Amino acid sequence: MLEHHAGPTRAGVYVEPSLDPKTAARMRRDRRFKAPATGASYAQPLFLDGGGTRDLVVVATEENWVYAFDAATGVLFWKNRVGTPVPLRELPCGNIDPLGITGTPAVDPASRTIFLDAMTTPDGGTTKRHLVFGLSVDDGSVRPGYPVDVAARLADAGMAFDSAVQNERGALTILGDTLYVPYGGHFGDCGNYRGWVVGVPLAQPAPLRAWATAARGGGAWAPGGVASDGSAVWVATGNTFGASAWSGGEAVIRLAPGPAFSGLPADYFAPPDWRMLDAGDVDIGGSGPVLFDVAGSVPSALAIALGKNGKAYLLDRASLGGVGLGVASARVASDEIINAAAAYRTPSGTYVAFKGAGTGCRNGPGDLAAIAIDPGSPPAIRPAWCARQNGAGSPMVTTTDGASNAIVWSVGAEGDERLHGFDGATGATVFAGGRRRDAMAGVARYVTPIAAKGRIYVGGTSALYAFAPR
């Protein structure tokens, strides 16, 4: 599990043959697993398979600590603090205190390197720097040529990047020989920030290449960050400010490697009411694009975007269509959608699960929902189910073979702090959180669990938690 949501498509599906519904119902927090960490984890943990030796779970925190824990016991294998984080009082706006590592790192297995962005300060907050690090998987040491000062290297290329007003919340991805890092603004939309995707060459991290929105704003801030289909990278952008013509915001954008944007309608989608979305701060940038296929549909290669306006937009990956309607759209939630969504198959169809108050659910309202993507020409969106996770976590899915026994897992983040599991086709409760002792002591909003080798891991505000059937 080397990237956010199990891979670059951001579908969030983990094949776990041992986690069928009967086994999942016996899930309990492993009280013997002790993995304390300093700082809150907004980033998803990553799992590094030891190939028969030591498996590791990597955790990054807002205190700029990176930890590698033994996946079976929680014993610390290595740790590295990559710099001093920036206190909230030293930022022009925001809501994370302190601000350090927020976006989920990505691992390059060929070089055995973990890549991440850290907001750092050498002088208590006066100077603010986004530094991209490459750390050894084996001992946490910093790779030669790293860290990369993003603002300084972009300035070398003639591009102005203000680290003080840019935030790196979205997950990183690797395509080919390049790391892609998304940037948006802080909570409060202060300063002259842009939506950025910065390309960092893995082996020789300079010079940098980058794409940015033409207008102020348009932040690439979704937790799922940058997605990839293996040939291009995809990003969702948020509100722009004062744009009289479409300038990169309120969009799903496909970038060629580099990154490079063609500007052609085939390579971006924005809804016709993008100006109203700008004005109402109800952008479609709060959930990154998820890429998946629906057999029997025309088109069959799809992407989905979910907006703070409660709408889902289904898109043709071959041609996004520019400003327009997409393949299909529907209002699927009565409140804003901000999360990392998951797309999965069951024997009864294809679904997308998300954090939100779903609409049209036969089993009543909730704070976690799923929609079905029905095959057709074109495919259609319909409500599937709603459930209650009692918090603000993002979902992920386990199946026993890629489609059978699909279970949607999520955490009552900033709520009941429990792990929950729901039948992927019906929303019926599979795991109700266990006993009181199975609750966690703090999980940040929009955090998603991961599954590996029959266990589930959750990054908390001061520890890594592990769950296993009993």
Q: What is the chain's pLDDT, residue by residue, as a tens digit (470 residues)?
A: 899 999 999 999 999 999 999 999 999 999 999 999 999 999 999 999 998 889 999 999 999 999 999 999 999 999 999 999 999 999 999 999 999 999 999 999 999 999 999 999 999 999 999 999 999 999 999 999 999 999 999 999 999 999 999 999 999 999 999 999 999 999 999 999 999 999 999 998 989 999 999 999 999 999 999 999 999 999 999 999 989 999 999 999 999 999 999 999 999 999 999 999 999 999 999 999 999 999 999 999 999 999 999 999 999 999 999 999 999 999 999 999 999 999 999 999 999 999 999 999 988 889 999 999 999 999 999 999 999 999 999 999 999 999 999 999 999 999 999 999 999 999 999 999 999 999 999 999 999 999 999 999 999 999 999 999 99
Q: How far apart are CA 377 and CA 124, in angstroms?
A: 57
Q: Which residues of 146-176 are buried (b: 16+ CB within 10 A; e: fewer)?
A: bbbbbbebbeeeebebebbbbbbbbbbbbbe
Q: Which residues of 336-358 are buried (b: 16+ CB within 10 A; e: fewer)?
A: bbbbbbbbbbbeebbbbbbbbbb
Q: In what order do the strands lie in the sheet with 27-29?
A: 27-29, 464-469, 455-459, 450-452
> Could you tell me which of 45, 133, 143 has the C-alpha nearest to residue 444?
45
Q: Cβ(63)–Cβ(39) under 8 Å?
A: yes
Give 353's strand partners: 342, 370
Q: What are phi and psi of 150, to 5 degrees?
A: -60, -50
Number of neighbouring beta carbons within 10 Å of residue 10: 30
* 383: preceding bond cis by omega (within 30 degrees): no
CA 143 to chain centre: 25
Domain covering 4-469 assigned CATH 2.140.10.10 in the classification: yes
Residue-wise DSSP of 424-452: TTT--EEE---SGGG--S---TT---EEE
Q: Which residues of 58-80 are buried (b: 16+ CB within 10 A; e: fewer)?
A: bbbbbbbbbbbbbbbebeebbeb
pLDDT of residue 440: 97
22 sits in which H/E element: helix 21-24
Residue-wise DSSP of 372-430: EEE-SSS-EEEEEEEE--SS-PPPEEEESSSSTT-EEEEE-TTTT--EEEEETTT--EE
Residue boundaries of the structural domains of the chain: 4-469
Six-digit token string for 249? 């915001």
Q: What are phi and psi of 79, to 5 degrees?
A: -150, 155
Q: Cβ(120)–Cβ(82) under 8 Å?
A: yes
pLDDT of residue 53: 87
pLDDT of residue 121: 98
pLDDT of residue 402: 96
**Percentages (nearest 5) of helix, strand, coil residues in the chain:** 5, 35, 55
Q: Cβ(172)–Cβ(150) under 8 Å?
A: no
Six-digit token string for 236? 């969702």
pLDDT of residue 363: 83
Six-digit token string for 354? 């998300």
Q: Cβ(201)–Cβ(253) under 8 Å?
A: no
